[in-house]
Amino acid sequence: MKLVDTNVAVHLLLSGPLVANARALYERDPEWHTEPLLFVELTNVLATATRATNTTRAKAMLALDEAHQLFDGALHAIDDQTAFATAIRFRVSCYGARFIAAATALGCRLVTEDAKLRAEAPALTWSIAEALAARGER
Please report, for the domain that includes residue 125, its CATH number.
3.40.50.1010
122 occurs within a structural domain: yes
Distance CA 107, CA 57 (A): 37
What residue numbers bound the domain in which 70 lies? 2-133
Q: Is the pLDDT of residue 138 over 70?
A: no
pLDDT greater at residue 137 or residue 34: 34
71 occurs within a structural domain: yes
Give the per-residue pLDDT at 16. 79
18 occurs within a structural domain: yes
Mean pLDDT calculated for residue range 19-44: 96
pLDDT, tens digit, 9 for 90 and up, residues 108-125: 999 999 999 999 999 999
Distance CA 99, CA 75 (A): 11
pTM of the model: 0.93
Give the per-residue pLDDT at 54. 82
Task: Indicate the DSSP class of residue 36.
Answer: T
138 occurs within a structural domain: no
pLDDT, tens digit, 9 for 90 and up, residues 36-56: 999 999 999 999 999 998 889
Mean pLDDT calculated for residue range 56-61: 95
Domain count, the chain: 1
Q: Is the pLDDT of residue 86 over 80?
A: yes
66 occurs within a structural domain: yes
In DSSP notation, 98-136 reads HHHHHHHHHTSPEE---HHHHHH-TTTEE-HHHHHH-SS
pLDDT, tens digit, 9 for 90 and up, residues 95-106: 999 999 999 999
